[in-house]
Amino acid sequence: MPAGNGANREAAGVGETGAAGVGETGAAGVGETGASGEPWDAVVVGAGHNGLVCAAYLARAGWEIAPGFRAPALAHTVGRLRPSVVRELRLRDHGLSLVAPEIRAFVPGDDGSAIRLWADAERTAEELRERSVHDAERYVAFDRLTRALGRFMGELATTVPPDIAAPSLGDALAGLRLGRSFRGLGRGDARTLLRVLPMAVADFVAEAFTDDGLRGAIATRGVLLTAMGPWSAGTAGVLLADGAGNDGGAAGQSVHVRGGPAALADALGAALRASGGTIRTDADVASVLERDGRASPRSIRSAC
Amino acid sequence: MTGRYDAVIIGGGHNGLVSAAYLARAGMRVVALERRHILGGAAVTEEVFPGFRYSVASYVVSLLRPEIIRELNLPRHGLEILPLDGTFTPLDGDYLWRVNDHGRTMRELRRWNLVDAEAYEEYGQLMVEMARFIKPILSVVPPDPTGLDPRQFLPLAGLLRTFQRLPEDRQAVFVQLMTMSAADFLGQWFTIDPLIATMSASGIIGTFQGVRSPGTAYVLLHHYMGEIDGAFRAWGIPRGGTGGVSEAIASAARALGAEIRTEAPVARILVGGGRARGVVLESGEEVLADAVLSSIDARQTYLRLLEPGNLDPAFEEEVGRIKFRGSSGKVNLAVDRLPDFTSLPGDGEHLRGAISFSGSVDDMELAYDDAKYGRWSRRPYIDMIIPTLVDPSMAPPGKHVISCFVQYAPYHLDPALGSWDDNRDAFGDAVVDRIAEVAPNIREIILHRQVLTPFDIERRFGLSEGNIFQGELSLEQLFFNRPVPGYARFRGPVRDLWLCGSATHPGGGIMGANGRIAALELPRATGRKVV
Ligand SMILES: Cc1cc2nc3c(=O)[nH]c(=O)nc-3n(C[C@H](O)[C@H](O)[C@H](O)COP(=O)(O)OP(=O)(O)OC[C@H]3O[C@@H](n4cnc5c(N)ncnc54)[C@H](O)[C@@H]3O)c2cc1C
Ligand SMILES: Cc1cc2nc3c(=O)[nH]c(=O)nc-3n(C[C@H](O)[C@H](O)[C@H](O)COP(=O)(O)OP(=O)(O)OC[C@H]3O[C@@H](n4cnc5c(N)ncnc54)[C@H](O)[C@@H]3O)c2cc1C
């Protein structure tokens, strides 16, 4: 397949000697050139939501993108989806509709009772009164704490980890920004954050609550999607990270995509196409082509 | 000497004694007050059964700071560390035996597996490098990360520079050490199950964690630190038991002019005008001083010895949160003859080091599972030492004492099991049963048995909830979070009231670092001239 080398452009996405790109199983390579007739600026391997987000941002910046390869969506909620992504890629205009129910979690107990965690912490606290006055009185403060710490974790999540051995100016600036947010927490919360991050989530919830059912209801978020139990150190950090950059708080953030999680991929795909990107499915990437030891100056892989 | 002191120290454990010695050395008038009739706290030797002397609680010394040995001239005051050699892990029909002699250990490991043998060298070197890197942290006052004064970070600047100079793969290993579980970390190098199990055991000593719990890899490193002080390789047992360490420190302190009193339990800390003024003994006697140093844990110091109303409720809450939940027990045996291991019979050298009952990682984790649900381990992990083989003076001629450190024994038992008093004997039996699996003659040779549950450790040594380290050594309770966030600089919110025991950075163990740093920091912080 011809690579159509442009004047000052590197070839991307072609399985030809000397060119960098990706090779598909059962086919020679991504092959086709971008709309300009020149090779792709970037090929994104894997069109999970991160691949799509990554591609959409690059396309928005004027890159020519060929991502691909969508898989069925297994997730059921999208509470961790960054609001900034929704905003910046104008996903609502591309058909995304998010539903954030008033009820965040419903936890049926063995004894026929149930706990409901609401978006409104006061309302949850009111309901908890029946189970434990002590816990009800602590709930709002706990909610505030997890929100504050989660906000900081959100900042952390949007920072590219620094190169510790040789920090760049960018790393230093990011460090300063983080440092400011850290101080912004105030002394009490800042200390609490450093204490809580490495803790077991079971211990963290037990500091505030006595009711085992409530402890369990909240602690689940510390072990969700991990291979750890609630007594494992570090799971309190998982809980806080779950509330990073969203309106999680003690109850967590349950956000659904209208039409199911696949609809998020559809919106991302639409955003990408609107910026001129292309998506191919059924295109299993077999190898990344190298030239001179690099994938191609402007090609990226889906480490996004 | 009576009248007013420059400093009064609560507790005559080894850290309190170290503080007393260093303050006296700085020219201060100091008195240390010990509740019991005997000095040493958890580093103590007692004749529990006639003729048999036990290191009742702590039993080996590995972390004692070499600068303390040097500065207080402890060998002159009688300290002598008798080296222990190797770790023997008895198994059903086999064993794993590592010794100080490198060649022999390599041969043994090769018998098991060539790849592990090769990894063993690499691993040992790596851990020494890591320990060397982190070691300076043992002698600094932790900064308050939320504090504004940049000077407090100065002691760490050197550490950061060394870190940046470490090769990238070493930096990555360091991050792994700070976060991973001991078993996972070791599993990256080794495949021999009993080797991983035995090495990971030092990651869970005194904690309420299992070898597969994240965060336990750091404790491995903590234990390596003691092993690298070339000049004074101090892994061994003090002549006369661990009380020998305390005796030597006490002797040095007295020689420097410190006063030390036993049977002087402190009932209350006197506070006036927002500062500590001295203490009141249970007898009613008042001992006045410009500064009070407490070598007991933060919970007892702040919540029991201070009258209510002296503390801000937020601080009180923070102290109330400190996790103790002791997880260890101790079984001390007096025996007629030596135990005989089926897989390596006889009185050989394998009995002269540590004998580790850690057959597999699953065994270790299962022992922890029991504890998680409020039961003592039915098949516990045991670290056994036979002190009489290196120091025969501990028992009548021909007889022996055996020290068994046992995990897990949760302080908070499932109420269905009843109290620890109801369980003590059964727990002791479980320990003997576990030993008998690989050394069946154990049942016939026992003359006396002393079983210490965490409840007994609390009662006897004043260690809250029987935690052997005055507060769990978990990541959230280390360094600038020890004993509580914001107050890791050896003092809390009450002026002139200091902490100098294991409750502070760098934590527990017969180390002395806590007592030393506190005693060096006090004159500095109060602007007192050091004589
Ligand atoms: C069962 C389950 C439930 C979950 N529930 C939730 C939840 O409720 N809420 C939540 O926030 N998160 C949940 N998660 C986690 C969340 O879904 C994932 O973290 C997230 O979707 C990962 O997105 P990604 O784009 O980074 O990677 P992926 O989704 O893994 O995307 C990678 C893509 O690359 C493709 N690919 C792989 N190899 C090749 C190749 N060689 N060539 C071309 N393409 C290739 C794959 O087919 C895939 O489409 C859940 C995950 C699972 C598995
Ligand atoms: C069973 C067990 C096994 C251990 N094994 C080892 C080991 O092998 N190696 C190792 O390095 N470490 C070991 N440790 C840990 C080590 O022994 C301790 O961390 C260390 O001895 C603590 O010293 P300290 O001076 O800080 O405190 P402590 O030893 O706790 O000293 C505090 C002192 O204060 C006294 N006191 C309490 N209340 C009052 C009061 N109101 N008035 C006056 N005095 C009071 C106590 O009686 C005690 O003497 C072990 C501990 C235990 C319990």
Tens-place pLDDT, residues A204-221: 999 999 999 999 999 999
Q: Each residue of B52-83: pLDDT tens digit?
A: 999 999 999 988 998 999 999 999 999 999 98
Instruction: Give the β-pairing of B497-499 and B95-98.
Output: unpaired
Q: What is the pLDDT of residue A22?
A: 52
| Closest CA of chain B from A69, distance in Å | 33
Radius of gyration of chain A (CA): 23
Q: Does the pLDDT of residue A16 top 80, yes or no?
A: no
Cα–Cα dist A22/A43, whole Å = 8
Neighbours of B432 (CB within 10 A): 16
Cα–Cα dist B299/B323, whole Å = 10
Q: What are phi and psi of A16, to 5 degrees?
A: -110, 150
Q: How far is the CA of B465 from the centre of ligand 2 (A)?
A: 13
Q: Does the pLDDT of residue B353 top 80, yes or no?
A: yes
Cα–Cα dist B87/B223, whole Å = 14
| Better-scored residue on pLDDT, B148 or B390 | B390
Instruction: Give the β-pairing of B81-83 and B236-238.
Output: antiparallel
Query: Which of A85-94, A268-277, B249-258 tops mean pLDDT?
Result: B249-258
What is the interface size between A and B, counted as CB pairs within 8 Å? 53
Please give the distance of CA B65 from its chain centroid, rounded to a whole number.
13
Q: Which residues contact A209 (CB under 8 A, 6 or more apart)?
A: A132, A134, A135, A138, A139, A142, A215, A218
Contact criterion met (CB < 8 Å) for A165 and B480: no
Q: Each residue of A102-111: pLDDT tens digit?
A: 999 999 998 9
Ramachandran category for residue A26: left, alpha or beta (phi over 0 → left; psi -120 to 50 → alpha): left
- Buried b vs exposed e over A258-280: b needs ≥16 C-beta within 10 Å? eeebebbbbbbbbbbeebebbbe
Cα–Cα dist B338/B399, whole Å = 8
Q: What is the pLDDT of residue A297?
A: 41
- Do B40 and B13 contact (CB within 8 A), yes or no? yes
> Tokens 């700085």 map to which residue?
B26
Across the range B308-313, mean pLDDT stands at 94
8-state DSSP, B34: -
Query: Hey, CA dihedral for A154, A255, A200, A210, is it positive or negative?
Result: positive
Contact criterion met (CB < 8 Å) for B215 and A198: yes
3-class secondary structure, B172 = helix
Contact criterion met (CB < 8 Å) for A233 and B475: yes
A188 contact residues in B (CB cutoff 8 A): 314
User: Nearest residue on chain A to B214, judged by CA atoms?
Assistant: A233
Across the range B105-116, mean pLDDT stands at 96
Q: Does the pLDDT of residue B294 top 90, yes or no?
A: yes
Query: What value does the mean pLDDT of chain B take?
Result: 93
Q: Does the pLDDT of residue B41 top 90, yes or no?
A: yes
| Closest CA of chain B from A120, distance in Å | 26
Cα–Cα dist A73/B86, whole Å = 55
Neighbours of B214 (CB within 10 A): 23
Contact criterion met (CB < 8 Å) for A191 and B485: yes
Taking alpha carbons only, the member of B286, B288, B306 closest to residue B296 is: B306
A262 touches chain B (CB under 8 A): no
Q: Does the pLDDT of residue B246 top 50, yes or no?
A: yes
From the CB of B279, is ligand 2 less than 6 Å away? no
Reported in sequence order, the residue ranges of B184-318 that DSSP labels E, i.e. its strands, are 236-238, 259-261, 266-272, 275-281, 286-294
Q: Does the pLDDT of residue B136 top 50, yes or no?
A: yes
Q: Which residue type, as a one-letter code, is found at position B26?
A: A
Q: What is the pLDDT of residue A179?
A: 82
Q: Each residue of A134-176: pLDDT tens digit?
A: 999 999 999 999 999 998 888 887 777 777 667 777 777 777 7
Q: Which residues contact A283 (CB under 8 A, 6 or more apart)?
A: A24, A27, A30, A68, A69
With a Cβ cut-off of 6 Å, ligand 1 is lined by A 45-51, 69-71, 74-78, 80, 225, 284-285
DSSP, residue by residue, A58-91: HHHTT--EEEB----------TTS-HHHHHHTTT
3-class secondary structure, B318 = helix
| Better-scored residue on pLDDT, B3 or A154 | A154
Q: What is the pLDDT of residue A136?
A: 97
Query: Which of A27-31, A260-264, B169-173, B285-289 tops mean pLDDT?
Result: B285-289
Q: What is the pLDDT of residue B26?
A: 96
Q: What is the pLDDT of residue A201?
A: 96
Q: What is the pLDDT of residue B271?
A: 97
8-state DSSP, B204: T
From the CB of B225, is ligand 2 less than 6 Å away? no
| Closest CA of chain B from A148, distance in Å | 16
- Do A222 and A201 contact (CB within 8 A), yes or no? yes
Which atom of ligand 1 sits closest to the CA of residue A77? Answer: 8
H helical segments located in B214-305: 216-224, 243-255, 298-299
Cα–Cα dist A232/B216, whole Å = 10
Across the range B7-23, mean pLDDT stands at 98
A190 touches chain B (CB under 8 A): yes
| Closest CA of chain B from A203, distance in Å | 9
Cα–Cα dist A198/B179, whole Å = 8
Torsion on CA atoms B510, B512, B515, B520, rounded to nearest 10 = -170
Q: Does the pLDDT of residue A56 top 70, yes or no?
A: yes
A177 touches chain B (CB under 8 A): no
User: Nearest residue on chain B to A235, judged by CA atoms?
Assistant: B214
Q: What are phi and psi of B201, to 5 degrees?
A: -55, -35
From the CB of B52, is ligand 2 less than 6 Å away? no
| Better-scored residue on pLDDT, A286 or B495 | B495
User: Nearest residue on chain B to A194, judged by CA atoms?
Assistant: B476
Q: What is the pLDDT of residue B302?
A: 98
Cα–Cα dist B246/B230, whole Å = 23
Taking alpha carbons only, the member of B216, B209, B201 closest to residue B358 is: B201
Contact criterion met (CB < 8 Å) for A165 and B168: yes
Q: How far is the CA of A223 from the centre of ligand 1 (A)?
A: 18
Which atom of ligand 1 sits closest to the CA of residue A80? Answer: 11
Q: Does the pLDDT of residue B14 top 50, yes or no?
A: yes
Q: How far is the CA of B461 from the centre of ligand 2 (A)?
A: 6
Across the range B83-92, mean pLDDT stands at 93
Q: Each residue of A187-203: pLDDT tens digit?
A: 889 999 999 999 999 99
Element (H, E) at A146: helix A133-157
Q: Best of A180, A183, A223, A232 to disrupt the B interface by mutation (most B CBs within 10 Å)?
A: A232
| Better-scored residue on pLDDT, B171 or B371 | B371
| Better-scored residue on pLDDT, A74 or B326 | B326
> Tokens 């006197």 map to which residue?
B270
> Tokens 């620094």 map to which residue?
A162
From the CB of B492, is ligand 2 less than 6 Å away? no
| Better-scored residue on pLDDT, A281 or B498 | B498
Q: Each residue of A250-281: pLDDT tens digit?
A: 999 888 899 888 889 889 989 998 988 888 88
Q: Does the pLDDT of residue A122 top 70, yes or no?
A: yes
| Closest CA of chain A from B212, distance in Å | 9
Contact criterion met (CB < 8 Å) for A192 and B485: yes
- Buried b vs exposed e over A155-183: b needs ≥16 C-beta within 10 Å? bbeeeeeeebeeeeeebeebeeebeebbe
Among protein residues, the one with the nearest Cα to ligand 1's atom 18 is A75
Contact criterion met (CB < 8 Å) for A233 and B323: no
Taking alpha carbons only, the member of B122, B98, B297 closest to residue B201 is: B98
Q: Does the pLDDT of residue B508 top 80, yes or no?
A: yes
From the CB of B502, is ligand 2 less than 6 Å away? yes
Q: Each residue of B403-434: pLDDT tens digit?
A: 999 999 999 999 999 999 999 999 999 999 99
Nearest to B476 among A188, A196, A232 (CB): A196
Confidence tier at A28 by pLDDT (50, 70, 90) = very low
Q: Which residues contact B122 (CB under 8 A, 6 or more apart)?
A: B189
Q: What is the pLDDT of residue B335?
A: 98
CATH code, residues A11-96+258-302? 3.50.50
Q: What is the pLDDT of residue B137?
A: 85
Nearest to B215 among A183, A192, A234 (CB): A234
Confidence tier at B249 by pLDDT (50, 70, 90) = very high
Confidence tier at B515 by pLDDT (50, 70, 90) = very high
Q: What is the number of the ligand closest to the CA of B460?
A: 2
Query: What value does the mean pLDDT of chain A take?
Result: 80
* Domain regions of chain A by residue span: 11-96+258-302, 101-254
- Do B47 and B327 contact (CB within 8 A), yes or no? no
8-state DSSP, A227: S
Element (H, E) at B370: helix B361-372
DSSP, residue by residue, A173-189: HHHHHHHHHHHHTHHHH
Q: What is the pLDDT of residue A33?
A: 57
- Do A99 and A256 contact (CB within 8 A), yes or no? yes
Rounded to two decimals, the ipTM of the complex is 0.83
Nearest to B171 among A165, A183, A187 (CB): A165
Taking alpha carbons only, the member of B116, B140, B124 closest to residue B65 is: B140
Nearest to A233 among B164, B314, B474 (CB): B474
Q: Does the pLDDT of residue B292 top 90, yes or no?
A: yes
Q: Does the pLDDT of residue B161 top 90, yes or no?
A: no
Q: Does the pLDDT of residue A6 top 60, yes or no?
A: no
B372 contact residues in A (CB cutoff 8 A): 231
| Better-scored residue on pLDDT, A72 or B285 | B285
